[in-house]
Structure 1
């Protein structure tokens, strides 16, 4: 999961004939796709005379050129959506099929979250996604998951408890264009609700605006009487169609996520409806911001490949990928995030 060490000039992807993807709006289909062959344009290591800042700026210039020419979007469209050779057999067992919101959006067997103590079994449609930030010693831990169904809230909260998660980021409304995107898996303010045999949620606080809602929840294990405080951010500024016109509100959300992450090492749960589209945008965006802080180059296609090697189909559409590329450029240009280490003495 190290991004800055390979393919310093990006990736050239040999084109194969393949179908036109129609996984939009977080709906799925069962078609398989052929593998793609990755050929580095320039596999030589970066010049040792360059500072980290030079290589970071160079990567941003490549990003801008790729956006302007359309080459980076083209390469995104050729990138495999599912890692070749990774199995999804557990998700497709008869006893687990009903737990999947979409029939073809499943976790890999190798990276799925395995429940230890749940009445319905060990399966939940969720994947561990760990993103290493070179040069910093940081590994940002995520659990990318679908929006719970009415029948899978117990599994969701059991996962929260077992993984010690204290932050949930919800990147979808409950209803979108008249369709259910996620079941309301938390109680109203000043109310409590029981999930499964031994977990209870109490909602103590809710505040927000048209862009984002912040909720404070208390999760109690009724068997041990242990209590944990959970914060949930629900992002609402994503339009029904397409992507936001401006990344400002989305970047504010990422800022809140990073602020909370600084005080804990447990995974952050991120979900939209299927747990791949907007969820993937958030993971790539936070990763890029951390790379800027570490004075490391940003190669979005390499980052996305590392993400999809852990959960299939993360970032679904070209519009979503373009949006996050433009947001990365905005963060760098406006110095929303700056390198944390002085760069004039950093030689490679």
Structure 2
């Protein structure tokens, strides 16, 4: 007997021996396998999941209902919840809940939950779904507050995270409105189970970083129109004409299908059955000619599941079902999940998303990892190594090859969007714009998300906009809800153009790029920097937002500033402005407490930009826990924005500036760095 078969037997014995309910249906090997797969064959966790599953379904009335009878029939036909025909890059099924189709005042939680689990049960018949899990998309596009039901959302997520036999791979909240705050209370449910990194709030363009475009509908940036009617037909047929359970990979105990005339109104656990084989093409809200005959013929001749001897249809087959059910044109769904479009292959399991994915204050990649040192230890290290020692340390970092690809930056249509041919944009952390005019390259801008201290995607590191990319720049600012832009270069330096003039430096003037009008409301000039308050208007929607533009003007033409005082003051004031603007949004901002990403750029977006971000992260960490890791911070930034910290002097400057900051804030009483510049090349 294999280890999996042994686990199945142990699971069944534990469940059956613990139940005192004589009416409880015996657990089959198929049911056991589903729950074991959902918990990676960890028997105690699978048993706990089963018990929780039973409790939830009994409590919420999720057994013994009929999808042909109202109100469930009408609920299913709304299409607010559906299973998409494609899968994510790892093979997980994709469930979609469309918020603007839900009206809490007209439907009960029980009915909506019945509609959800009815369709999930069909999806879970697929062995692929049992093995790869589920991605849940909560689409809030164009939804209103009246569409939002906190209690229902909590029940659905509670069911999925701890009461349903399918691993929840990700929750993707799409286009969350600024008023949307309650879901972040819900998401805290995930923190206790260390699922925080699986929950993302994303814009429509960013959704394709998680799910391949050919598995998304057009309205979510994909390539096909949702055909919910055909999916419902499949559900009706599947639940009417199937064995009680489909077994996924349990070996010789697999069961033969002998109940094709039996209709099951629910699956997954104890089920009730009705002895009818109804298939009504009108149930899906419209007549599909020939659906009954053609679909039945298609099902009868369908391939057998590799993991079962039962005729088996998974959600990956819906495209073919649609064609069989009346010649409806549908996008082609790959049966192999290794042939998605090129871009999907570039992303890791948890690709970047907008800053609002960080709903917890400790959501950080700049925590206790690396080699943190107290400020006193940093002073001692700097004194011992001297300038040349730090330069050698930087040389070691710089010598490492970039860890990532630049496929999008090198596409023919995107090459001209890069200011410098040797400063390209990583694929894995790039900022993805909305796609325009069916041009797949229109989503490219030379910009990368960079994590901050206790904040994912705290910054956007980008090049100084070119005249031809200024519209893309403002699209990025708009789509990412950015409040503050930090510019660490002048437009012209040493007679060379370093950056395009993408805003007007004079009060009252305005400039337009595409559908964006940028008006300069106020200008404050200081010795070391200039602040311009901008009003950005989306001409298409008439929406107006405020953006604060901070330009540091006293960086010398060569090298780095002799003193960090001016830069530190500039950094502190820019950070305070971000906090002030986030606070003014009040409940309108539902993302990370520190707000949306701060856009930081110089000319190439790597040298001064990397220096500014390194200092901001290290200062934040020093203030919070009394230690910092400059080397580790630079390495982390370079892993997200290639080549960040461009020159050895910038690396040295970060160390001296952090010490200067600590002295100015009395975090350090004194720092004797005499002879720092005089140490010879052999000094350590």
TM-score normalised by the chain length of structure 1: 0.77
Within-5 A mapping of 1:102-117: 102-117=420-435
Q: What do the CA deviations read for 1:160-204 (whole angstroms, capped 9, x no partner)?
A: 0000001000100000111000010012321222111x2111111
Partners of 2:626 and 2:382 lie apart in 1 by: 17
Partners of 2:385 and 2:577 lie apart in 1 by: 32
Change (3 A) 1:98 1:246: same
Partners of 2:368 and 2:565 lie apart in 1 by: 26
Change (3 A) 1:301 1:203: same
Offset at residue 245 of structure 1 (A): 1.1
Within-5 A mapping of 1:315-326: 315-326=645-656
Within-5 A mapping of 1:29-178: 56-65=374-383, 67-68=385-386, 70-80=388-398, 84-118=402-436, 121-133=442-454, 138-139=455-456, 141-178=458-495
Change (3 A) 1:261 1:59: farther
Partners of 1:337 and 1:154 lie apart in 2 by: 43
Pair 1:276-2:606 in alignment: yes
Residue in structure 1 matched with residue 591 of structure 2 by the alignment: none
Partners of 2:553 and 2:460 lie apart in 1 by: 20
Partners of 2:507 and 2:400 lie apart in 1 by: 40
Partners of 1:303 and 1:229 lie apart in 2 by: 31
Partners of 1:229 and 1:280 lie apart in 2 by: 25
Residue in structure 2 matched with residue 28 of structure 1 by the alignment: none
Offset at residue 66 of structure 1 (A): 5.1
Residue in structure 2 matched with residue 199 of structure 1 by the alignment: 516
Count, aligned residues: 287
Change (3 A) 1:257 1:158: same
Residue in structure 2 matched with residue 220 of structure 1 by the alignment: 537
Residue in structure 1 matched with residue 87 of structure 2 by the alignment: none
Q: Which is further off, 231-240 or 60-69?
A: 60-69
SS of the aligned residue for 1:124 comes to coil
Partners of 2:390 and 2:380 lie apart in 1 by: 9
Tell me: higher relative CO, structure 1 or 2? Use CA pairs within 8 A at least 6 residues apart: 1
Change (3 A) 1:162 1:298: same
Offset at residue 323 of structure 1 (A): 1.3
Q: Which is further off, 252-261 or 173-182?
A: 252-261
Q: Answer whether contact 1:56 1:295 (CA < 8 A) is retained.
A: no
Residue in structure 1 matched with residue 207 of structure 2 by the alignment: none
Q: Answer whether contact 1:4 1:298 (CA < 8 A) is retained.
A: no
TM-score normalised by the chain length of structure 2: 0.40
Partners of 1:162 and 1:273 lie apart in 2 by: 22
Partners of 1:104 and 1:88 lie apart in 2 by: 11
Q: Answer whether contact 2:403 2:639 (CA < 8 A) is retained.
A: no
Q: Answer whether contact 1:108 1:127 (CA < 8 A) is retained.
A: yes
Normalized per residue, the structure richer in strand is 1
Partners of 2:367 and 2:390 lie apart in 1 by: 16
Partners of 1:81 and 1:227 lie apart in 2 by: 45
Q: Answer whether contact 1:66 1:73 (CA < 8 A) is retained.
A: no
Residue in structure 2 matched with residue 256 of structure 1 by the alignment: 573
- Let me know the Cα RMSD of the aligned residues: 2.0
SS of the aligned residue for 1:129 comes to strand
Larger Rg: 2
Q: What do the CA deviations read for 1:51-84 (whole angstroms, capped 9, x no partner)?
A: xxxx524542344235526322211111046664
Change (3 A) 1:69 1:113: closer
Offset at residue 5 of structure 1 (A): 3.0
Offset at residue 284 of structure 1 (A): 0.6
Q: Answer whether contact 2:452 2:617 (CA < 8 A) is retained.
A: yes
Change (3 A) 1:336 1:82: farther
Q: Answer whether contact 2:488 2:602 (CA < 8 A) is retained.
A: yes
SS of the aligned residue for 1:240 comes to coil
SS of the aligned residue for 2:410 comes to coil
Partners of 1:57 and 1:109 lie apart in 2 by: 35
Change (3 A) 1:242 1:85: closer
Residue in structure 2 matched with residue 302 of structure 1 by the alignment: 632
Q: Answer whether contact 2:453 2:621 (CA < 8 A) is retained.
A: no
Change (3 A) 1:66 1:162: farther
Alignment gaps of 5+ in structure 2? 1-364, 583-594, 669-684
Partners of 1:110 and 1:337 lie apart in 2 by: 37
Q: What do the CA deviations read for 1:97-131 (whole angstroms, capped 9, x no partner)?
A: 10000001111001001101446711101000012
